Amino acid sequence: MGFAAVARVTEDRWVACQVLDNIHFGLPVGGELKVETTLCHEVRQQREVIVIDNVAEDPVYCGHHTPSIYGLQSYISMPIILPDGRFFGTLCAIDPKPAKLNNPQILGTFKLFAELIAYHLDAEKKLIDAQASLLDEQATSELREQFIAVLGHDLRNPLASINGAANILLREPQTDKSVKVIGMMRGSVLRMSALIDNVLDFARGRLGGGLGLHKTADRPLTTTLEQVVSEIRSGHPERRIDVNFDLPAGIEVDHDRIAQMLSNLLGNAVTHGSPDHPILVEASTGGGRLYLSVANAGEPISESAREKLFQPFNRGRANPGIQGLGLGLYISSQIAEAHGGELQVVSDRDETRFTFTMPVD
């Protein structure tokens, strides 16, 4: 065929996307024809191939205006249908001389090329969409980094001031009521600090940095755990927290991360556990593993809730109306994994117990 083209065909336009011109037809890439003068217009409407071996002998197209306008004697136009079913245009070819086109070999070849073009166009669109999505994601990442900076500085500083002021007030003579109010303030500071830590870690993890660890064995883990329990007790003086620690010296962990985990687990126990029963914190080693658990009485966690318990933004345990972001247990599970361990939960009518285990030398 002397001239071939991949054409974008719409209701009102015929545009050449690519051409092969061996007869000096004179239509370049980007060139347009009046769509109503083309047979591709009919192909778009019917979505069926049109093939003509010899215009003069064709009973349908011998008197058609298109062959006379463009001086063609043989013609083929195959519809290009995108994978989602949308009509794109045609793969068409013309020649001023008759040609044997209406046979399975030619039709099959044109159909195959039309399908390849359709899939190429679809792949190109998906690539463009993916690149646009990547640019959007980069912009979102920059916004996240700004958000982390705000959390890490602009919120921590006033929170530290509030905590410092509460500690100063506690050293002054106070009434029983004011001591209770200051205790509530310190409890709120603890909760807000935990929320900030969890959001920071969640954001860092989603940005790809993950949870960084700074393991050390230069101080007793018991001291770290006791400090966390002391802070929770000061913020919730109405709750009884019992401890049972039997740990050797020199356990290599990230003390700040373990403290964060225990704080999250204790905060969870205070929020969801029965106020009439003590919370029990236990830590020990055995069989080459470290065991740290927090147990409380109260309503058991349902099996369906346990399946989603360690997912981010899960708040549906016992009382969906309880305030919180639902990140505490998720971050705790990530801390456990970062230490090469795991965090598990067992819950029944007698007790709900979260247990962290990790290998130790």
- Please say if the pLDDT value at position 212 is more than 90: no
CA 161 to chain centre: 36
Alpha helices in the chain (DSSP H): 40-46, 65-70, 104-149, 156-170, 176-206, 221-235, 255-272, 303-307, 328-338
Residue 205 has a pLDDT of 67
* Banded pLDDT at 210 (limits 50, 70, 90): low
Residue 278 confidence (pLDDT): 96
- Among 86-95, 175-184, 200-209, the range with the most confident prediction by mean pLDDT is 86-95
- Of 211 and 13, which is predicted with more confidence? 13
Q: What are the chain's domains?
A: 3-102 (3.30.450.340), 130-206 (1.10.287), 221-359 (3.30.565.10)
Is residue 317 pLDDT above 80, yes or no? no
pTM of this prediction? 0.53
Closest by CA position to 280, among listed 264, 265, 258, 260:
265
| Residues 219-251: tens digit of each pLDDT | 899 999 999 999 888 888 889 999 999 999 889
**C-alpha angle 264-335-325 in degrees, rounded to nearest 5:** 45
Q: What is the mean pLDDT of the chain?
A: 85
- Which are the contacts of 31, defined by CB distance < 8 A and separation ≥ 6? 15, 16, 19
Query: Which residue do the tokens 């109260």 mark?
Result: 298
Long-range contacts, stretch 280-283, CB < 8 angstroms, 24+ apart? 280/241, 280/242, 280/243, 280/244, 281/225, 281/229, 281/241, 281/242, 281/243, 281/244, 281/245, 282/243, 282/244, 282/245, 283/221, 283/222, 283/225, 283/244, 283/245, 283/246, 283/247
CA geometry: angle 346, 228, 246, nearest 5 deg: 65
- pLDDT over 70 for what percent of the chain? 91
Within 10 angstroms of residue 131's Cβ, the number of other Cβ atoms is 10
Q: For the CA atoms of the chain, what is the radius of gyration?
A: 36
HSE (side-chain half, CA atoms, 13 Å) at 56: 6
Tell me the CA distances in angstroms from 201 to 164, 209, 333, one per residue in order. 24, 9, 12
Q: Which two tokens stand for residue 71?
A: 């001086």
Q: Which residues of 314-342 are buried (b: 16+ CB within 10 A; e: fewer)?
A: beebeeeeeebbbbbbbbbbbbbebbebe
For residue range 325-356, list pLDDT tens digits in order.
Answer: 577 898 899 899 999 999 999 999 999 999 99
pLDDT tens, residue by residue, 21-52: 888 888 899 999 899 888 888 899 889 999 99
Question: What CA–CA distances, in Å, run from 27 to 9, 38, 195, 268, 351?
Answer: 15, 14, 66, 73, 82
Cβ-proximal residues to 2 (8 Å cutoff; 6+ apart), any chain: 21, 22, 23, 25, 94, 95, 96, 97
